[in-house]
Amino acid sequence: MKAFRGEILSVPDDPAHAGAEAIRHHEDGLLVVEDGLVLACGPATELADRFGDVPFEKLEGLIVPGFVDAHVHYPQIERIASHGEQLMQWLERHIFPAEMAFADRAHADAVAAFFLDELLRHGTTSALVFATVHPGSVDALFEAALARDMRIVSGKVLMDQGPEGLRDSVESGRADTEALIARWRGRGRLGYAVTPRFAPTSSRAQLEDAGRLLAAHPDVLLHTHLSENPGEIAYVAERFPEAADYLDVYDRFGLVGPRSVFAHCVHMSDRALGRMAEAGTGIAFCPTSNLFLGSGLFDLAQADRHGVKVGIGTDVGAGTSLSVLHTLGEAYRICQLQGCCLDPFRALHLATAGGARVMGITDRVGALLPGQEADFVLLDCAATPLLARRCAGAPLHDRLFALQVLGDDRAVTGTWLRGRPAHPGAKLISRARRPARRGPAWKERRR
Ligand code: GUN
Ligand code: ZN
């Protein structure tokens, strides 16, 4: 048993529904961890009777649950910031060529290791991740995640109508998916997602088969893209004239349910959102991606009106940062452009417990509740001179908002997975120039 003492904040429930009750803040808090799980989390004085003898580490900063990235593409990390196109042309020009390189397992291994170390450095401990069409790209990611003890859900991309060199078939897609599920089921903190890229790159037969795979494996997710870009939506309407809308294309193949996660959902009808709410389907809101590709503004208020569950996705490489903190700042701006105001506590909820809900892992992570895995992040409100000035003497609400608007990986002092400092290798490079007082990773290195 061990403990961590410091200022602790978590938002297990959505403040939009639960109000201020949803916010758990302990100015002098104690997080008690046993065998990697949270045993207790509360005011240090209240827990002193029960855990006074437990050795604790004092952490300077704000302790929050590890971030959950509900939609990101690891093979695209090296194509982030690719200039000049919107979705369909961007895929053709920048992304498909990059993904072809993942036929090479050594390349996949190298990128997977870099990507996961970057996630940890940015404070992300759980993620729903796109790989490529190559099954080896999933093996590479899962092996690297297992070595780091990260909670990663991924799957081989199904795309039998994709470009030459990046195409599977209904049969190979099914066989590879089945083999990956069998190979990785129950290992570490990994999960599988049946992953048709999006309706334009799969045949009807493949979408139907994806529905069969989802039904055959009650423990897997369905992960894809939906209604991101007007050109994409027009193309889908042309290819599937029988469907009521884009969501209905997936629905007709049994792909809309409580284990489904759709990235983007920027241009949605009330019918489609009503159907998502009824089915218990989740949305990954990807602000930086939607701005970068000029896709449009996700309407959080509309999703709220229907009661659809929402998480936050960085969607790198269309997204411009792996920092969930920074992504929350962009989410705020997108809401502002539509006359709606995203509260910083709600934003933190969406990026932690909200994302966990979308991924179906609220029993495991997201809120530092007893029994959950002790994945957490230490944030530094003085990480930059400007943050320090803005946050000096400021109340929690203002500090949290400043972290979202001004913060990024620089504000993440350390990341812990199941109560252990995460993969020191990731920190050695990034933290080498920081003063010792800032983080346990640095201290680890000096020991
Ligand atoms: N739609 C289909 N594939 C992709 C992708 O790789 N990125 C984004 N942003 N949208 C997609
Ligand atoms: Zn995406």
Q: Residue 432 pLDDT > 90, yes or no?
A: no
**Percent with pLDDT over 70 in the chain:** 94
Whose atoms come closest to the Cα of 199: which ligand? 1
The answer to whether the predicted template modeling score (pTM) of the entire model surpasses 0.85 is: yes
In degrees to the nearest 10, what's the CA dihedral of 351, 357, 361, 367? 50
Find the 369 Cα to ligand 2 centroid distance in Å: 30
Q: What is the DSSP string of 13-74?
A: S-HHHHGGGG-EEEEEEEEEEETTEEEEEEEHHHHHHHHTTS-EEEEEEEEEEPEEEEEEEG
Strand runs (DSSP E) across 209-274, as ranges?
221-226, 260-264
Q: How confident is the model at residue 423 (pLDDT cuts 50, 70, 90)?
A: low
Torsion over CA: 45, 356, 127, 380 (sign):
negative
Q: Residue 444 pLDDT > 60, yes or no?
A: no
Residue type, 239: R
Find the 392 Cα to ligand 2 centroid distance in Å: 37
Q: Which residue has the tokens 């269309």?
A: 318
pLDDT for residue 442:
31
Find the 318 Cα to ligand 1 centroid distance in Å: 8
Q: Is the CB of 225 under 6 A from ligand 1?
A: yes
pLDDT tens digit sequence for 327-337: 999 999 999 99
Mean pLDDT of the residues in the chain: 94
Q: Residue 439 pLDDT > 90, yes or no?
A: no
Q: Which residues pair with 310 in a beta bridge?
A: 283
Q: Which atom of ligand 1 is nearest to the CA of 232?
A: 1
Question: Is 124 within 8 Å of 68 (Cβ atoms)?
Answer: yes
The C-alpha atoms of residue 22 and residue 13 are separated, in whole angstroms, by 5
Regarding beta strands 309-312 and 282-285, do their DSSP bridges make them parallel or antiparallel, or are they unpaired?
A: parallel
Rounded mean pLDDT, 265-276: 98
HSE-up (13 A, CA, CB side) for residue 276: 31
Q: Residue 430 pLDDT > 60, yes or no?
A: no
Reduce the DSSP state of residue 300 to 3 states and report it.
helix
Same fold, 2-65+368-433 and 67-359: no
pLDDT for residue 417:
98
Q: Which two tokens stand for residue 285?
A: 């809101």
Q: Which atom of ligand 1 is nearest to the CA of 198?
A: 2
Residue of 227, 258, 225, 266 whose CA lies nearest to 244: 227
**Percent with pLDDT over 90 in the chain:** 94
Q: Is the CB of 71 under 6 A from ligand 1?
A: no
Q: Is the CB of 79 under 6 A from ligand 1?
A: no
pLDDT tens digit sequence for 38-89: 999 999 999 999 999 999 999 999 999 999 999 999 999 999 999 999 999 9
Residue whose CA is at the smallest distance from ligand 1 atom 11? 225
Find the 225 Cα to ligand 2 centroid distance in Å: 6
Arch. (CATH architecture) of 67-359:
Alpha-Beta Barrel (3.20)
Phi, psi (degrees; rounded to nearest 5) at 54 = -75, 130
pLDDT tens digit sequence for 126-152: 999 999 999 999 999 999 999 999 999
SS3 content of the chain, % helix, strand, coil (to 5): 45, 20, 30
Q: Is the CB of 198 under 6 A from ligand 1?
A: yes
Q: Residue 427 pLDDT > 80, yes or no?
A: no
Q: Which atom of ligand 1 is nearest to the CA of 319?
A: 9
Q: Residue 425 pLDDT > 90, yes or no?
A: no
Q: Which residues pair with 192 in a beta bridge?
A: 154
Find the 91 Cα to ligand 1 centroid distance in Å: 7
Question: Is 441 within 8 Å of 431 (Cβ atoms)?
Answer: yes
Q: Residue 424 pLDDT > 90, yes or no?
A: no
Q: Which atom of ligand 1 is nearest to the CA of 73?
A: 6
Phi, psi (degrees; rounded to nearest 5) at 263 = -80, 140
> Which among 167, 198, 316 is the best mutation to test ligand 1's pocket, defined by most ligand atoms within 8 Å of the CB?
198
Residue type, 278: E
pLDDT tens digit sequence for 167-178: 999 999 999 999
Q: Is the CB of 289 under 6 A from ligand 1?
A: yes
Find the 239 Cα to ligand 1 centroid distance in Å: 18
Q: How confident is the model at residue 250 (pLDDT cuts 50, 70, 90)?
A: very high
pLDDT for residue 434:
37
Q: Residue 437 pLDDT > 50, yes or no?
A: no
The C-alpha atoms of residue 438 and residue 430 are separated, in whole angstroms, by 12
Residue type, 93: R
Distances (CA, A) of 37 to 6, 131, 257: 18, 29, 30
Find the 200 Cα to ligand 2 centroid distance in Å: 14
Name the packing angle between helices 105-121 and 424-431 (round to 10°).
70
Q: Is the CB of 151 under 6 A from ligand 1?
A: no
pLDDT tens digit sequence for 13-33: 999 999 999 999 999 999 999
Find the 414 Cα to ligand 1 centroid distance in Å: 31
Residue of 181, 126, 148 whose CA lies nearest to 359: 126
Q: Is the CB of 224 under 6 A from ligand 1?
A: no
Question: Is 195 within 8 Å of 175 (Cβ atoms)?
Answer: no
pLDDT for residue 283:
99
Find the 300 Cα to ligand 2 centroid distance in Å: 18
Q: Is the CB of 318 under 6 A from ligand 1?
A: yes
pLDDT for residue 95:
98
Whose atoms come closest to the Cα of 313: which ligand? 2
Burial letters for 210-241: b for 16+ Cβ neighbours within 10 Å, e otherwise? bbebbeebeebbbbbbbbbbeebbebbeeebe
The C-alpha atoms of residue 314 and residue 241 are separated, in whole angstroms, by 32
Domain boundaries, the chain: 2-65+368-433, 67-359
Arch. (CATH architecture) of 2-65+368-433:
Roll (2.30)
